[in-house]
Structure 1
Amino acid sequence: MSPIRVLPEEVVRRIAAGEVVNRPASAVKELVENALDAGARQVRVEIENGGLDTIRVSDDGAGIPADEVTLAFRRHATSKVVSVEDIGRTPTLGFRGEALAAIAAAATVRMVTRPPEQPFATAVTYRFGELISFEQVGAPPGTVVAVKNLFENLPARRRSLDDPRKEAALCARVVAQYALAYPTVRFYLVVNGRLVLHTPGDGNRLAILQALYPRTALDCWVPVGAEAGGLGVHGYLSRPGTFKTDPAHLTVVINGRPVEARAIRRAVVEAYRSRIPRGRYPYGFLALVLPREDVDVNVHPAKLEVKLRAEEEVAAKVGEAVRSALDAPRFEDVPGVSDWRIPALPLVETVIRERPEPEFGWDKLEPLGDLEGEYLICRSEDGLYLVDPHRLDETRIFIELERQAAAEPGQFLLSAVSIPLAPDQSARLAELLPVLGRFGFAIRRVGDRTLVLEAAPVGLDEAAAESCLAELMLALDRPGEAEWERRVRAAIACRRAVKRGERLTADEQRRLLRAAAGAGVGLLCPHGYPILLRIGRRELHRHFGR
Structure 2
Amino acid sequence: MEATAKTLPTIRQLPPNLINQIAAGEVIERPASVVKELLENSVDAGATRIEVSIVGGGTEMIRISDNGCGMTADQLPLALASHATSKLPTDEDLFHVSTLGFRGEALASIGSVSQLTIRSRTDSDDAGNEIQVRGGVIEPPQPCGCPVGTVMEVRNLFFNTPVRHRFLKTAQTEKGHIVEAFTRIALANSHIHFVLNNNDKPLYDLPVTERWSERIAAFFGGEIADALIPINSDDSQIHVQGYVCDPSVSRGNSRMQYLFLNSRHIRDRSLQHALGEAYRGLLMVGRHPVCFLRMSMPPELIDVNVHPTKLEVRFTDGGRVYSRLLQTLRHHFLTTDMTQRVGPAPVAPDADLTPAPRSELGMPVRAEQAHRQSVIEWARTGNSPAEVFVSPARGDDSGGGGSAMAPAPDAATRSIPSFGSVPGFQPFPGGGSPPMPHEAAPKPTTDSASDENVAPWDGPPAASPDDSVIDHPAVCHLGFQVHNRYLVTQDEKGMVVIDQHALHERVLYERVKTKVLESGQSLESQGLLVPEPVSMTPAERTAVLDHQDTLAQIGMEIAEFGGDTIVIRSYPAMLKNKPPADMLRTLMESVLGGGEKPEPIELLNHLLSTIACKAAVKAGDPLRPEEIRALLEQRDLYNDTHHCPHGRPTALFFSRDELDRMFGRLGPRARTSK
Q: Is 2:94 the counterpart of 1:87?
A: yes
Q: Which amino acid aligns with 2:232?
A: G
Q: Is 2:195 the counterpart of 1:220?
A: no
The aligned counterpart of 1:231 is 238
The aligned counterpart of 1:256 is 263
The aligned counterpart of 1:536 is 664
Q: Which amino acid aligns with 1:285?
A: F
Q: 1:373 to 1:124 in 2, by over 3 A?
A: farther
Q: Which amino acid aligns with 1:272?
A: Y
Q: Is 2:113 the counterpart of 1:106?
A: yes
Q: Is 2:346 the counterpart of 1:371?
A: yes
Which structure is larger by alpha-carbon Rg, 1 or 2?
2
**CA-to-partner distance for each residue in 1:87-144, whole Å, 9 max, x for gaps?**
1213111111111111101100001100011001101110111114531111110100
The aligned counterpart of 1:301 is 308
Q: Secondary structure at the match of 2:324?
A: helix
Q: Is the 8 A contact 1:209 1:284 kept in 2?
A: no
Residue 218 of structure 1: how far off its partner (Å): 4.1
- Give the number of the structure with larger relative contact order, counting CA–CA contacts within 8 Å between residues 6 or more apart: 1
Q: Is the 8 A contact 1:247 1:281 kept in 2?
A: yes
Q: Is the 8 A contact 2:306 2:313 kept in 1?
A: yes
Tell me which of 161, 169, 175 is aligned to 2:168: 161
CA distance in 2, matches of 1:68, 1:279: 52
Which 10-residue stretch deviates more, 320-329 or 241-250? 320-329
CA distance in 2, matches of 1:55, 1:218: 31
The aligned counterpart of 1:19 is 26
Q: Is 2:132 the counterpart of 1:131?
A: no
CA distance in 2, matches of 1:250, 1:217: 12
Q: 1:375 to 1:172 in 2, by over 3 A?
A: farther
CA distance in 1, matches of 2:285, 2:201: 37
Q: Which amino acid aligns with 1:67?
A: D
The aligned counterpart of 1:366 is none
Q: Which amino acid aligns with 2:128?
A: A
Q: Secondary structure at the match of 1:178?
A: helix
The aligned counterpart of 2:71 is 64
Higher-strand-fraction structure? 1
Q: Is the 8 A contact 1:56 1:145 kept in 2?
A: yes
Q: Is the 8 A contact 1:13 1:105 kept in 2?
A: yes
Residue 235 of structure 1: how far off its partner (Å): 0.7
Q: Is the 8 A contact 2:229 2:244 kept in 1?
A: yes
Q: Is the 8 A contact 2:82 2:108 kept in 1?
A: yes
Residue 535 of structure 1: how far off its partner (Å): 2.9
**CA-to-partner distance for each residue in 1:471-500, whole Å, 9 max, x for gaps?**
xxxxxxxxxxxxxxxxxxxxxxxxxxxxxx
Q: Is the 8 A contact 1:270 1:319 kept in 2?
A: yes
Tell me which of 68, 73, 77 is aligned to 2:80: 73
Q: Is 2:169 the counterpart of 1:194?
A: no
Residue 16 of structure 1: how far off its partner (Å): 1.1
The aligned counterpart of 1:145 is 152
CA distance in 2, matches of 1:272, 1:153: 48
Q: Secondary structure at the match of 1:213?
A: helix
The aligned counterpart of 2:123 is 116
**CA-to-partner distance for each residue in 1:244-263, whole Å, 9 max, x for gaps?**
22312211111111111222
CA distance in 2, matches of 1:312, 1:151: 42
Aligned residues: 346
Q: Secondary structure at the match of 2:120?
A: strand
**CA-to-partner distance for each residue in 1:140-187, whole Å, 9 max, x for gaps?**
101000000111111111211222212211111111111121111001
CA distance in 2, matches of 1:284, 1:197: 21
Q: Secondary structure at the match of 2:52?
A: strand
What is the TM-score with the length of structure 2 in the denominator?
0.49
Q: Secondary structure at the match of 2:95?
A: helix
The aligned counterpart of 1:30 is 37
Q: 1:208 to 1:56 in 2, by over 3 A?
A: same
Q: Is the 8 A contact 2:88 2:94 kept in 1?
A: yes
Q: 1:218 to 1:118 in 2, by over 3 A?
A: same
Residue 289 of structure 1: how far off its partner (Å): 0.9
**CA-to-partner distance for each residue in 1:427-474, whole Å, 9 max, x for gaps?**
xxxxxxxxxxxxxxxxxxxxxxxxxxxxxxxxxxxxxxxxxxxxxxxx
Q: Is the 8 A contact 1:233 1:318 kept in 2?
A: yes
CA distance in 1, matches of 2:17, 2:73: 25
Q: Is the 8 A contact 1:126 1:133 kept in 2?
A: no
Residue 219 of structure 1: how far off its partner (Å): 3.8
CA distance in 1, matches of 2:250, 2:185: 22
Q: Secondary structure at the match of 1:268?
A: helix
Q: Which runs of 5+ in 1 are unaligned?
A: 332-368, 377-531, 538-546
Tell me which of 269, 286, 302 is aligned to 2:276: 269
Q: Which runs of 5+ in 2 are unaligned?
A: 1-7, 339-343, 352-659, 666-674
CA distance in 2, matches of 1:182, 1:373: 31
CA distance in 2, matches of 1:188, 1:328: 39
Residue 41 of structure 1: how far off its partner (Å): 0.2
Q: Is 2:287 the counterpart of 1:292?
A: no
CA distance in 1, matches of 2:33, 2:225: 32
Q: Is the 8 A contact 1:44 1:59 kept in 2?
A: yes
Q: 1:221 to 1:370 in 2, by over 3 A?
A: closer
Q: Is 2:450 the counterpart of 1:322?
A: no
Q: Secondary structure at the match of 2:12?
A: coil
CA distance in 2, matches of 1:218, 1:94: 31
Residue 8 of structure 1: how far off its partner (Å): 2.0
Q: 1:74 to 1:217 in 2, by over 3 A?
A: closer
Q: 1:326 to 1:132 in 2, by over 3 A?
A: same
**CA-to-partner distance for each residue in 1:499-544, whole Å, 9 max, x for gaps?**
xxxxxxxxxxxxxxxxxxxxxxxxxxxxxxxxx965337xxxxxxx
Residue 82 of structure 1: how far off its partner (Å): 2.8
The aligned counterpart of 2:189 is 182
Aligned-CA RMSD value: 2.3
Residue 203 of structure 1: how far off its partner (Å): 2.4
Q: Is the 8 A contact 2:53 2:63 kept in 1?
A: yes
Q: Secondary structure at the match of 2:293?
A: strand
Q: Is the 8 A contact 1:222 1:326 kept in 2?
A: no
CA distance in 2, matches of 1:288, 1:36: 18
CA distance in 1, matches of 2:213, 2:204: 15
Q: Secondary structure at the match of 2:223?
A: coil
Q: Which amino acid aligns with 2:157?
A: L
Q: 1:535 to 1:212 in 2, by over 3 A?
A: farther
Q: Which amino acid aligns with 2:40?
A: E
Q: Is 2:289 the counterpart of 1:282?
A: yes
Q: 1:374 to 1:47 in 2, by over 3 A?
A: farther
CA distance in 2, matches of 1:374, 1:241: 25
Residue 330 of structure 1: how far off its partner (Å): 5.2
CA distance in 1, matches of 2:74, 2:225: 50
